[in-house]
Chains A and B, each alone.
Chain A
Amino acid sequence: MLYKKTTKADIMNQPKPSENGYQSRFQTNTKWLVRWNGAWVAATLLMLLGPKVLWNNASGFTLLAVGLDVAVGVGMVLATKKYVMELDELQRKVFLNALGIAMGVGLIAGAPLSAMDAYHVIPFHVNIGLLLIIMGLTFFVSFLYGTWRYR
């Protein structure tokens, strides 16, 4: 029998949204991930701009800023790990696909950009920030595509 009539028991036994359900955990983990990413961006900006703007190249403060950036970076990595581990299997697949593509593009783009910079083929200086932006944008587009594909 492929179809059966809906009974009152079926309606009464409808699953109730649980407070600690997947959606609730997902929202909490996403908030923490956004916070850690924001903190890392802030710590990185402090490390890059602080020596010139805030403490006039004092080495002690620069070392402190580097230490802070690394510590927040480790926190961000752990938050990302927790986020990925608690995603459901489809969302994890979409996330890891996007991450793989971003990493591949980073590797493929990194070497030619570096070579073009070294041999003055391009009129601007390539730094690590450009590569991070390329990888970030690639991840974002790949993630949106994956989400759209399985919507």
Chain B
Amino acid sequence: MKNRLKVLRAERNWTQAQLADALDVSRQTVNAIETGKFDPSLPLAFRAARLFGLRIEEIFHDPALDKDGSNPATERVHQ
């Protein structure tokens, strides 16, 4: 799963440690999410969304979704 966490953090001049503290996780976890090595749970994704005042899908993006937002997997089921 791709995400904009690093960009959002950089926009606010926050360090990884500050973001980790705000999300109540370790700095290692923030780094692993930013680099795409680890996908956060839904509660953590909600906390991040609340912190930045955005919706989850504005931060996290499923690469399986097409550029127009449609999901080819779902459309195959509907056909």
Contact = CB atoms under 8 A, between A and B. Distances in A.
Interface of A: 2-6, 10-11, 13-18, 21-23, 26, 88-91, 93, 147, 149-151
Interface residues of B, number: 25
A10 B19 contact: no
Given A2-B7, A18-B21, A149-B37, A13 B26 contact: no
B26 A26 contact: yes
27 contacts: A2-B4, A3-B7, A4-B11, A6-B12, A10-B13, A11-B13, A13-B12, A14-B13, A15-B18, A15-B19, A15-B21, A17-B18, A18-B21, A22-B24, A22-B25, A23-B20, A26-B26, A88-B25, A88-B26, A90-B26, A90-B28, A90-B29, A90-B32, A150-B28, A150-B32, A151-B28, A151-B31
